[in-house]
Amino acid sequence: MTLSTSSSDPQPVPAASPPGLVEIAGWLVRRFWLSALIALAVLAGLALAANRAPGVVPSLGPAIIDHQMVRSHRRTDAELLVVGDSSGLLGLDPIEVESRLGVRTEMLNVIGPVRGPGFVRLLENAIAAGARPKMVLFIIQPFTLLHAPGRSHDDLMKAVLADGWSPVAWEEGVRRSGDVLLLGGLFEEPIPGPFGAEYGNIGELRRALDAGQGGLLHPGPPLVPPPGTHAEVDYVIYPVAREDLRQAGEMLKRLDLKEVYVGFGATAESLSYEKTAGARRAMLEEVRQLLGLPEGHALLLPTVLPDQEMVDPMHVGREGRKRFTRDAMPVLQRALASGGG
């Protein structure tokens, strides 16, 4: 039997087709056009401000300080943690130390103006972030202890102690936000001089610090002192430096670390003769006492290097770094064996 249908019977409703890309785009535009417009305006403004802002020559020292502050807050499993100034930053190769001694090694060295309290503040950050080193080593360039620090040096130490920088000018703040956060370093100028040739810009320098476990190479040309140079150094700690070291020692007491050592960075041969025989070693002992470290915790790291292995009186070059690291190895090994792990 054939069944018939009338016009009054309900008809099947065709299934709705999914919205196409055009419909979705239209829906998004109708609902979010204002937010999108504001975001585009902000991006354009930041890009324009960054492009028009006066060029700022990257400052190598503050950039190193800034990134070492960042690194000090990262949890590290370092067994040997090195802190101090640029004589250690550029003089000791932590990757080579780790490879030869088999101890995980990291550095948080910055530059001399940060001084003792600043060095300990970076160590405090690392301990608060979970670091439990078997041994801590301070490397300090003795020349930095012989003279009064400048006003800009005070500002750098205060920045580290405050764990941050004071507010920058509005234009530079816009530039930094637009460049680093949104534009990925598009307007970041290269570092001038040898460091620029070796590392590029500040962003690349930060990556080099990470890859080098906190250490850097000084790529400058060998030191060529004037003919006949033979400087006799009066190794006497300046009163401000003595007070800085006392303050650093008080800060160290709060950390209750057992195996903390101190050693001096290398100096150029032609500019490091002692005015009084044995004065440099006596000065190292005084630094140990001011930091409140036990007897035997002043390490005799390589003292003097040939001029051609230095880039200036206080910093080693490529070959000097190899020598300083190699010659420091047995000293570090003995310290580690005697109580540091």
Q: What would the pLDDT profile of 103-136 be if each residue is shown by its tens digit?
A: 999 999 999 999 999 999 999 999 999 999 999 9
What pLDDT, on a 0 to 100 scale, did the predictor assign at position 57? 41
**Closest to 66 (Cα-Cα) out of 198, 177, 164:** 164
Retrieve residue 170's tokens. Answer: 């509005």
Can you give the pTM of this predicted structure?
0.79
**Residue 210 located in a structural domain:** yes
**Residue 20 located in a structural domain:** no
Q: Which domain holds residue 221?
A: 60-168+194-340
**Residue 183 located in a structural domain:** no
CATH of the domain at 229: 3.40.50
What pLDDT, on a 0 to 100 scale, did the predictor assign at position 53? 38
Query: How many domains are there within the chain?
Result: 1
What pLDDT, on a 0 to 100 scale, did the predictor assign at position 4? 42
Instruction: Tell me the per-residue pLDDT of 91-106, one tens digit each, with 9 for 90 and over.
Output: 999 999 999 999 999 9
Low-confidence ranges of the chain (pLDDT < 50): 1-8, 13, 49-57, 169-172
**Closest to 215 (Cα-Cα) out of 93, 97, 131, 115:** 93
Phi, psi of 320 (to 5 degrees): -65, -35
Question: Hey, CA dihedral for 229, 239, 246, 152, is it positive or negative?
Answer: negative
| Helix, coil or strand: residue 312 | strand
**Any bridge partners for residue 172, and if so which?**
none
Rounded-to-integer distance, Cα 2 and Cα 4, Å: 7
At 305, the amino acid letter reads L
Instruction: Tell me the per-residue pLDDT of 39-90, one tens digit each, with 9 for 90 and over.
Output: 666 555 555 544 443 343 457 898 899 999 999 999 999 999 999 999 999 9
| Helix, coil or strand: residue 84 | strand
**Residue 315 located in a structural domain:** yes
**Residue 46 located in a structural domain:** no
**Residue 201 located in a structural domain:** yes
At 321, the amino acid letter reads R
Retrieve residue 27's tokens. Answer: 């829906």
- Which are the contacts of 95, defined by CB distance < 8 A and separation ≥ 6? 105, 212, 213, 215
Other beta carbons within 10 angstroms of residue 47's beta carbon come to 17
Query: Which ranges of the chain would DSSP assign to H, the alpha helix?
Result: 21-52, 60-72, 86-89, 94-101, 115-128, 151-162, 170-176, 193-199, 202-211, 239-255, 279-290, 318-335
Q: What is the dihedral of CA 138, 62, 144, 155, to 10 degrees?
A: -110
What pLDDT, on a 0 to 100 scale, did the predictor assign at position 3? 40
Rounded-to-integer distance, Cα 68 and Cα 81, Å: 13
**Residue 29 located in a structural domain:** no
Question: Hey, CA dihedral for 130, 136, 242, 90, is it positive or negative?
Answer: negative
**Residue 142 located in a structural domain:** yes
Rounded-to-integer distance, Cα 141 and Cα 301, Å: 11
Other beta carbons within 10 angstroms of residue 38's beta carbon come to 10
Retrieve residue 39's tokens. Answer: 């975001």
